[in-house]
């Protein structure tokens, strides 16, 4: 079973529930005295951490809603880590949209629970131990989910314009491809639930958010590109051990491409394989010829050297015999002369 949490144990499947709780907290803050007290205390905190030249109403509203949310989820003992996960996302969003004095999510939270006081009232330390920030990949997934449900709210509340339907459809497909292409992120349960909510509004008749149909169509190009890359790697590994001639014959048996672009690509690959085979053959032929010439030179050298040595030896023997003959003749003449003198 694939975990639906991208990182750090974050359960994305609870995102909608946390989002609804966040909206409920904002409504609840104006319905009771404690809510009004907390609202004023949170306003003081937001003015302290704001680092803008001109204070904006949008920032104050977002910051106060975040502060009130912490007070609201204090009543929930179960799934507190899930609610704090959503707080991580919202305070991360606040930091991204506005320039705050706190450098990290953890620092912002610590400043909040330390400074937000109004008389005897103080924001509860409900998320202590659960604040560790979120990575950019997880934040982007949550941001898209938030945008998805925000568009759905506009559609279901009667704002049935083509613009909201189009944005909702595009964000849905984006999340679907993220879920399909990222092994550690499985958004299928969330998107299936969203499909039910989307179809219940029945106000965007031109769009069909069928998970299986869209998944097979929208992400087809991405999957095909990944498969092509894998097959290219496998072919490269095979070329290292298979003879180029065999590869060239295999390339001739490939299926006929369905498009002109694919046909050109296959033809280019065939030409590359042919040229590669030709180069390899020429190289092998050159090496063989070079070795053959070297061997012939060596044989000729050895033969000529031996023959030359034999000729020199024969001449030396012949000259030695001549010298011996002359010496013998000289000795004989001397002997004959000595004999004549004595007689």
Question: 289 lies in a domain?
Answer: no
- Residue 50 shares a structural domain with residue 62: yes
d(CA 259, CA 316): 85
- Residue 101 shares a structural domain with residue 227: no
- Residue 182 shares a structural domain with residue 203: yes
d(CA 211, CA 24): 30
For 122, the 3-state DSSP assignment is strand
Question: 300 lies in a domain?
Answer: no
- Residue 123 shares a structural domain with residue 197: no
Question: 92 lies in a domain?
Answer: yes
Question: 38 lies in a domain?
Answer: yes
- Residue 11 shares a structural domain with residue 124: yes
- Residue 112 shares a structural domain with residue 167: no
pLDDT, one tens digit for every residue, the chain (343 residues): 334 444 445 667 788 888 888 888 877 765 554 556 666 667 776 766 665 434 555 677 777 788 788 888 888 878 888 888 888 888 888 888 877 777 788 887 777 777 555 555 667 788 888 877 778 888 888 999 999 998 888 888 876 667 788 888 888 888 888 888 776 777 888 888 888 888 887 677 656 555 444 454 556 544 444 444 444 434 444 444 444 443 344 444 444 444 444 555 566 566 666 777 787 888 889 989 998 898 888 888 777 766 676 666 676 677 777 777 777 777 777 777 767 666 6
Query: Helices in 78-207 by DSSP H: which ranges?
Result: 80-97, 105-115, 136-156, 162-181, 188-201
- Residue 64 shares a structural domain with residue 82: yes
Instruction: Give how many domains the chain has, as a whole number.
Output: 2
Out of 241, 258, 292, a domain closes at 241
What is the extent of the structural domain holding 58? Answer: 1-134
Question: 46 lies in a domain?
Answer: yes
* Element at 221 (helix H, strand E): helix 220-239
- Residue 114 shares a structural domain with residue 170: no
Out of 78, 106, 134, a domain closes at 134
The answer to whether residues 108 and 95 touch, using CB atoms and an 8 Å cutoff, is: yes
Q: Break the chain down into helix, strand, coil percent, rounded to 5.
A: 75, 0, 25
Out of 110, 134, 158, a domain closes at 134
Local structure of residue 179 (DSSP, 8 states) = H
d(CA 134, CA 131): 9
């Amino acid at each position: 079973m694939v975990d639906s949490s991208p990182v750090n144990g974050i359960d994305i499947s609870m995102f909608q529930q946390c989002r609804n709780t966040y909206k409920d907290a904002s409504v609840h803050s104006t319905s009771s005295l404690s809510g009004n007290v907390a609202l004023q205390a949170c306003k003081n905190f937001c003015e302290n951490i704001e680092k803008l030249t001109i204070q904006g109403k949008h920032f104050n509203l977002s910051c106060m809603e975040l502060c009130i949310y912490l007070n609201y989820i204090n009543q929930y003992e179960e799934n507190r880590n899930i609610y704090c996960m959503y707080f991580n996302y919202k305070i991360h969003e606040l930091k991204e949209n506005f320039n705050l004095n706190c450098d990290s999510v953890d620092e912002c939270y610590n400043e909040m629970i330390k400074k937000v006081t109004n008389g005897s009232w103080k924001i509860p330390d409900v998320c202590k131990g659960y604040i560790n920030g979120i990575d950019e990949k997880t934040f982007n997934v949550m941001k898209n989910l938030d945008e998805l449900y925000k568009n759905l709210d506009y559609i279901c509340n009667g704002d049935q314009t083509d613009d909201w339907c189009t944005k909702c459809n595009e964000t849905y497909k984006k999340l679907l491809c993220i879920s399909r292409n990222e092994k550690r992120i499985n958004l299928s349960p969330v998107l299936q639930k969203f499909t039910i909510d989307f179809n219940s509004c029945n106000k965007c008749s031109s769009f069909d958010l069928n998970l299986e149909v869209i998944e097979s169509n929208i992400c087809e190009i991405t999957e095909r590109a990944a498969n092509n890359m894998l097959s290219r790697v496998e072919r490269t590994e095979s070329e290292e051990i298979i003879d180029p001639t065999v590869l060239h014959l295999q390339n001739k048996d490939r299926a006929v491409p369905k498009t002109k672009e694919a046909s050109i690509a296959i033809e280019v690959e065939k030409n590359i394989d042919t040229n590669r085979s030709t180069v390899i053959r020429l190289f092998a032929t050159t090496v063989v010829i070079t070795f053959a010439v070297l061997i012939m030179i060596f044989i000729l050298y050895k033969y000529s050297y031996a023959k030359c040595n034999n000729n020199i030896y024969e001449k030396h023997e012949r000259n030695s015999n001549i010298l011996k003959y002359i010496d013998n003749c000289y000795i004989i003449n001397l002997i004959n002369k000595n004999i004549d003198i004595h007689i």
